[in-house]
A = this chain, B = another copy of it.
């Protein structure tokens, strides 16, 4: 798979596998969120980087952006159907990582001691 270096699949994968994109999509999986909720759910992300990633995700048709023309404005982000499918896969990967991280750390310690 991905036998060319810049085929569409590889390009998209590089974005999905970026530091934050997967985590953002995952946060939106249970339901829509506003900008600051999203920010608070992702400790360590800066507003700039969150905004960048959201723009990319909207551009790629994975996330919807809705603006309520109130004062002050309210902006809500939600997954598109396409984004929802992606989120399911990301969720599978992340829950596994979350569940097995301790095993991996144990293996790492074992390895470090042995060497």
**Chain A residues in contact with chain B, CB under 8 A?**
1-5, 7-9, 11-14, 16-19, 22-23, 26, 43-44, 58-62, 82, 85-86, 89-90, 92-98, 100-108, 110-112
Contact = CB atoms under 8 A, between A and B. Distances in A.
Contacts of A101: 7-9, 11-12
B43 A104 contact: no
B8 A60 contact: no
Contact of A82 (B9, B59, B94, B100): B100
A94 to B, nearest CB: 6
B112 A100 contact: no
A107 B93 contact: no
Contacts of A60: 104, 107-108, 111
